[in-house]
Copies of this chain bind each other. A is one copy, B any other.
């Protein structure tokens, strides 16, 4: 198992051998596989698999293991993206906005982006009526929001959590 780190001031990343890459791919596809199953797929001993995983966890490469749930079964069938422009961009406003938006459970993702708008939000709710509620009572009740522009998801073509290394 050969690792080395490349450090360039602000960030550092690992270099992975072929086995680690395959292991990460397998775990990102299904983390409930036993080390025995993984050892078969990787042609390794159970212990070797175990140690590689522990190392990847310790290095912070694997940050967490989670259950993914089907949004249709959770009555969250409505997905929208909201562009947001702030009125002003003082430190205060920005920090306050970011904190409040991050606390909204309907907001799955929030990014500060380049371009015409300041932020892009991914919002998940049950239906259009719930989205209207969210906009009126939660999002636009945050102060300092200048304008918003919403796009509704008609169809989810692809959605993965797996990063290919």
Using a CB–CB distance below 8 Å, which chain A residues touch chain B? 11-14, 24, 27-32, 59-77, 79, 81, 98, 101-102, 105, 107-115, 119-120, 124, 151-165
Contact = CB atoms under 8 A, between A and B. Distances in A.
Taken together, the copies of this chain in the complex come to 2
B162 A73 contact: no
Contact of A120 (B68, B81, B160, B162): B81
Interface centre among A67, A110, A157 (most CB of B within 10 A): A67
Contact of A152 (B30, B66, B113, B154): B113
A28 to B, nearest CB: 5
Nearest to A153: B111
Nearest to A26: B67
Contacts of A102: 157-158
